[in-house]
Amino acid sequence: MIRVVLADDQTLVRAGFRSILSGETDMEVVGEAGDGEQAVALARELRPDVVLMDIRMPVLDGLEATRRITVDDRLEDVRVVILTTFDIDDHVYGALRAGASGFLVKDTEPMELLHAVRVVARGDALIAPAVTRRLIAEFAGRGRRPDPGPRLKALTEREREVMGLVGAGLSNDEIARRLVLSPATAKTHVSRIMTKLAVRDRAQLVILAYESGMITPGWLA
User: Do residues 185 and 176 lie in contact, with contact meaning Cβ atoms separated by under 8 Å?
Assistant: yes
Q: What is the mean pLDDT of residues 18-46?
A: 96
Question: pLDDT for 159-197, tens place per residue?
Answer: 999 998 887 778 888 899 999 999 999 999 999 998 898
Q: What is the pTM of this model?
A: 0.74
pLDDT on residue 128: 46
Which of 60, 63, 59 lies closest to 82, judged by CA? 63
**Phi and psi for 137 in degrees, rounded to 5?**
-60, -40
Phi/psi for 103 (5° steps) reads -150, 160
Residue 218: which pLDDT band, with cuts at 50, 70 and 90? Answer: low
Q: For residues 40 and 55, what is the distance between their CA atoms, to the nearest angstrom?
A: 13
Q: How far apart are CA 176 and CA 187, in angstroms?
A: 9
Dump pLDDT digits (tens) for 108-152. Answer: 889 989 998 998 898 777 654 555 556 556 655 555 555 556 778
> Residue 142's pLDDT is what?
59
CB 200 within 8 A of CB 70: yes
